[in-house]
Structure 1
């Protein structure tokens, strides 16, 4: 009898998960990656090197326990993007808080612009920002703006550097939370007055994120503010030359939410938000760069800290815990999912579920994402990745999946009229939605059954085999994700009913 004729599956409905068509994600298998002993707040990629900034004092090899095998690195480290090995480029960022909060490579990769709260870049005095020459790993001599307070966001075009944060003056002139300069530190007329706070727990305004579309002469900024040259809330589109308001994004960000991250792919822009209190906006949204029209907005809860578009997929770092009203999403069960992949076309959550823990510090988990060729680098305050100790950094590649799904426990029972019914609970896989269950009778392949599943929705499955009445058979089961096959569970011996 065919599998289709005898298969019975009891389950709740799954939202669409792009199980058989659509976007392809990276693997969920982390590559061996060096670790930090603190929080990674920002990363940048240029010329085959990944630059990492944050609040830490050492890095250590993959698998090394805290305090062992470390190399001194003061809030900054550089790694070969392909091998992941640390490089000797290691200027220290110290003084005035000693932390890096923002990094961005110039379009030609010749410089890494760095912002945060520090007074020195290596041995050179700097005022919360510095630039690293990627050739030779030297601190640039002509990028030395005087910035009155912390920088939390940077974006760069061929001839302009935009900085955002909590400052009130740049180069001794009034610039509230946002400014634009030439690469030689010349302050530009670009000027926007940022004021008010969109969140109740912090009454100071601030800019957390910047993304620039030079082809449209537009800068989009996000943060915690209620005005940017006009009445807006946490998100504004500005003229890249003057700073005048061009998009107000009315209704995008509700009260008590702030924009934490922005990115664009030349056509659309993407944001992540963090809310304060119940029923706030904590998730992601997508809009058109050209006219500011909203394309979609998800409803996940669990403060989003980083977004990155790649290959038709929006990757994000958060601690999502309730995505029940987002396509492909999950209800609040007390579990936090710290990394997500969504379809850029319609926000559907795709079957890609590598995970971290909340970690140390503010216990948010991932804080920064960057793509180095076809490898996603993730930084933050986490201390585990896929339930294995790993602190501060991890990587996921666009390669062949190497982890097989877990095999389920197989049970069997006799049925009337020469039938045997097998029962099991669906497995799940971190980077595949539909799994194939291969069933064996007496050591020989019998049939295969496909089923879509997620870690929060594992349907009960069954298969009924028709045999000679009173016959005894041994059954086993294995699971395939299309590339990797689990070990077999079983065999279980069952005698058919007479």
Structure 2
């Protein structure tokens, strides 16, 4: 065995190296969450809506029961009819549990009032607990009781809710609210009185986001016309009157519909889903001050929700081709269901927790909310990071608990006094740059750093200089700086002598 060795580093397959990987530039925003899911309760159906206030996360959807973390379907189930509430910090199930029922009962929209005292719920239901209802109600968050004064009669499904101090906006499939014509959008006072606000929209509203400082409500959905004029899938309305303030005629192609709208201090964001050739499935950013289009990404994969939080745009979709987006991935057999992007330039950031597509329409996650620094995700998935978890999951700032995958070593070449060991880079869901430590006979001989993603794992190598005619054992580990993988299986290498090198034999 060799006592002292001189080493050099060689990279194999240069065509596969970092030219294919676009890491975020210096100064890119920092993702607030690890990719490791926290222990979370589950539902036995689809979660369509999430809302949060006062350390409580409210969950609405189409489900009959919830069950504890780790429980399989049918085990330890607790009755919850289309609505449940959880402690935002601990994740514990709370007793707030009014049942939303009816022939095709479902909760599709949840939104808290700005002061957090009221939770508004919409969907398709005709009873909440023992009280009759018509697709929209309000709950007092202090004690989970129904607000009796808020009792509108909505003629069809409510799919979106937005709130201000003075108004509660409903959007959906309906034509009548409390006996008055309101075509797919309406506004009520917090006490439940129908307001004069009115807009004539020709197809369902699926997304709304109100910006009080601008006196506007952004509206998205399946529609083609608002107030008698063309407005394909996206428009801004005067939040008092309902008059069209702005339309966006070239932002979305035919066949694409807006599913979600969010905003931050300077921008508003749109998530779209499309059907047919030439559609748009990705995200759009516009400037609030003048409605200028800032960017569009062209990821394919039916975006269901967007959420702006601490300088990062989070989204839920089933993205499968983001090759035209900075930091994005090519078309593959698999899909990525959660993404984080820079709001400045749409760059996809290295944060890749994932779900499967699950039940229902096979789209995976459908709702996002953040409370007490924890990101909650709801949808129709049945797995998270390849492990069973249905309907709900959540992510916090830490701890980061998952190590990179264990790399496998192979022998590239040997020559008298030299052995070149190679391996394919591993990858980690929330750390792009990993460190690889190679051990010869238990002693560290190489430490290298390399950036990688699940779709681009470059080959790496190390050329070890050792005495000819010796035999050595190599092992490798990968670390993200916090978690270290187990060491790889041992690779035994016989380094040839001058004689057997000339004859081409190997020991």
The TM-score with structure 1 as length reference comes to 0.95
SS of 1:222 mapped into structure 2: strand
Note the alpha carbon deviations across 1:442-473, whole angstroms, 9 max, x for none: 21111211111111111121111222233322
**Aligned pairs (5 A) from 1:139-288:** 139-195=146-202, 205-229=203-227, 230-288=229-287
1:54 aligns with 2:65: no
Offset, 1:481: 1.0
Pick from 83, 88, 97: which aligns with 1:90? Answer: 97
- Report the alpha carbon displacement of residue 9 of structure 1 after superposing the two structures with TM: 5.3
SS of alignment partner, residue 213 of structure 2:
helix
In structure 2, the residue matched to 1:494 is 493
CA RMSD after TM alignment: 1.6
Distance 2:13 2:489 in 1: 20
Contact kept, 8 Å, 2:6 with 2:464, in 1: the verdict is no
Aligned match of 2:504:
none
Distance 2:279 2:105 in 1: 32
1:336 aligns with 2:340: no
Counterpart position of 1:17: 23
Report the alpha carbon displacement of residue 23 of structure 1 after superposing the two structures with TM.
Answer: 2.2
State the shift of 1:38 in Å: 0.6
Aligned to 2:73: 66
Q: What is the aligned partner in structure 1 of residue 474 from structure 2? A: 475
| Counterpart in the other structure of 2:500 | none
Q: CA deviation at 1:21?
A: 5.2
What is the CA–CA distance in structure 1 between the aligned matches of 2:7 and 2:362, rounded to whole Å? Answer: 47
What is the SS of the residue equivalent to 1:215? helix
Indicate if the aligned counterparts of 2:21 and 2:456 stay in contact, CA closer than 8 A.
Answer: no
Equivalent position SS for 1:278 = coil
Per-residue deviation at 1:181? 1.2
Query: TM-score w.r.t. structure 2 length?
Result: 0.93
Query: Given that residues 253 and 278 in structure 2 are in contact (C-alpha distance below 8 angstroms), is that contact kept between their aligned partners in structure 1?
Result: no
Question: Shift in Å at residue 85 of structure 1?
Answer: 0.8
* 4+ residue runs over 4 A deviation: 1-5
d(CA) in 1 for partners of 2:327, 2:450: 15
Contact 1:19 1:434 in 2 (8 A): no
Change (3 A) 1:44 1:407: same
The residue aligned with 1:102 is 109
The structure having more radius of gyration, on CA atoms, is 2
| CA–CA distance in structure 1, aligned partners of residues 103 and 219 of structure 2 | 25
- Show structure 1 runs of 5+ residues with no match: 196-204
Number of equivalenced pairs = 489
Q: Distance in 2 between matches of 1:20 and 1:3?
A: 32
Structure 2 unpaired stretches of 5+: 498-507
